[in-house]
Amino acid sequence: MEDYSAGQAGTETAQERIPKLIAHMENVIRGKRLQIEMVITCLLAKGHVLMEDNPGTGKTVLARTLAHSVSGHGEDGNIIFKRIQFTPDLLPMDLIGSHLFDERNADFVFKKGPLFCNVLLADEINRASPKVQSALLECMAEGQITVGDTTTKLEDLFFTIATQNPIEMEGTYPLPAAQLDRFFMKIYFGYVDAATEVDIYRNYDRIQDNLEHLKQVLSLQDVLALRQEAEAVFVHDEIVQAVANIVRGTREHQEITLGASTRAGIAFLRCLKAFALVKGRSFVIEDDVQAIARSVLDHRLIYRNREAKLKAFDQILQKEMDRLSKLKLY
């Protein structure tokens, strides 16, 4: 496994840094390049990502792999990674922190909780009660935490990677619409193909060793610089119009009872820019819209029934892709 030094990345371009990060993660995560790209997209778009699938598909491993690839194992110290295992008995103060009495100074002092970090892994988030889930709302939406009458700003880099099991499983609490809207993307992880699965079985011990010895590939400054580059990616006016048409189409489709908001459209544009950068481009193309539209918008919508969920969004997206293909922008 290659050993990269985050300190050497200062002179590298985005076209060098991002492929290096992806290659580093693929030492552990096999056969899931698109999912890796989408998680990095959310990181660079200044958003948060939710991964849903059955237990054992690699959701938590992917989250840990990205976190350690940008933070190391604590020896570098410039990016703080925290992991919270969500359980039914968790309390909001377990995330935010609480005031403790300091006998020496005869005063209460605030002990910060794990939300005061740069990269947060919220593992099995839908196993905690709605009260605990809501503790994440302010920090994810506004980058701050309020305790009593004191509001504390979080760091410039605050990125939440949440995992959840399908909501039909026992002992889970479905995330409310307001919480889901804070996630820029919802990714379904899925199983790997047959050949990749055999490769994992043959090399599982080496893969585990790679996970335990992941090095830091990007520094805090590298991540912040890449975020600025993502903001500067060019988006053609017709693609902006396509985003608006898709968002508006979700509100007007008769099989969708709750459409996407303006905030969802802004998140869509930011993800398009970041995804283009991840793909090595300084401009967004039509195929980017097709690639990430469902991951960005689908979890924000409420459909009339299961059949509508399978067809309605695809109808809206296909109509707009047909319009873009006739324009031949690139």
pLDDT tens-digit profile of 63-91? 889 888 887 654 445 788 888 999 888 88
Of 219, 212, 279, 196, nearest to 1 (Cα)? 212
Dihedrals φ, ψ of 284, to 5°? -90, 140
What's the token pair of residue 298?
């689908």
pLDDT of 3 reads: 46
User: Mean pLDDT across the stretch 48-55?
Assistant: 88
pTM of this structure: 0.88
pLDDT of 300 reads: 94
The pLDDT tens digits of the residues spanning 93-114 come to 888 887 777 777 777 777 888 8
Higher pLDDT, 261 or 58: 261
The pLDDT tens digits of the residues spanning 291-325 come to 999 999 999 999 999 888 889 999 999 999 999 99
User: Mean pLDDT across the stretch 250-263?
Assistant: 94
pLDDT of 93 reads: 86
pLDDT of 214 reads: 84
